Structure 1
């Protein structure tokens, strides 16, 4: 299972780098989001993927061993990163909207021509 997720993470990183290298600022923003999600998956994968593993010890602590428990820290970190990523996404999209109102273009090459005026 981890091998399949690792291949998927590699494909997400490749897609994110490809989008970062495009000329459109919209594709640049999407590339940052894809890289952020790939990093979240790496953190999630660090906590080991186990089926039916518990994250905390309840009243029947005799049945819970360290081999069957999952680590809750990567899950908490990913959840926090998702919330922060959504806030940053809203902020970046608002900045992009104002950017397009001022310049009238999405192309980064055309933006460099506006600096030379």
Structure 2
């Protein structure tokens, strides 16, 4: 299956991306792609794409990644609703503190006087 996705290029800490058409089995870092469809520079906010070629490849069955799907909607290349790219938040299970609190109240505190008298004897000797 053909995918339209971003391929990272550029120097260390200065990322730029190519919009490429590739097989879905190919890794993004493999460098194997069929066609370069545009570029994206997040530092300078430059977005360049070949809209005609993107429409052509989507008509042939190529699937854009979720990020590029939203990008194409912003550029009005395709119509539709944006996809949620962020991962879903996991709910944190609540602890059963209500049951633990009454158990602590039932236990009696240790007598503090006996331990203090034992330390006084060592200090005086």
Q: Do they fold alike, i.e. is TM over 0.5? A: no
| Greater per-residue helix proportion | 1
Bigger radius of gyration, 1 or 2?
Answer: 2
- In terms of fraction of residues, the more strand-rich structure is 2
TM-score category, normalised to shorter length: under 0.3
Per the normalisation by structure 1, the TM-score is 0.22
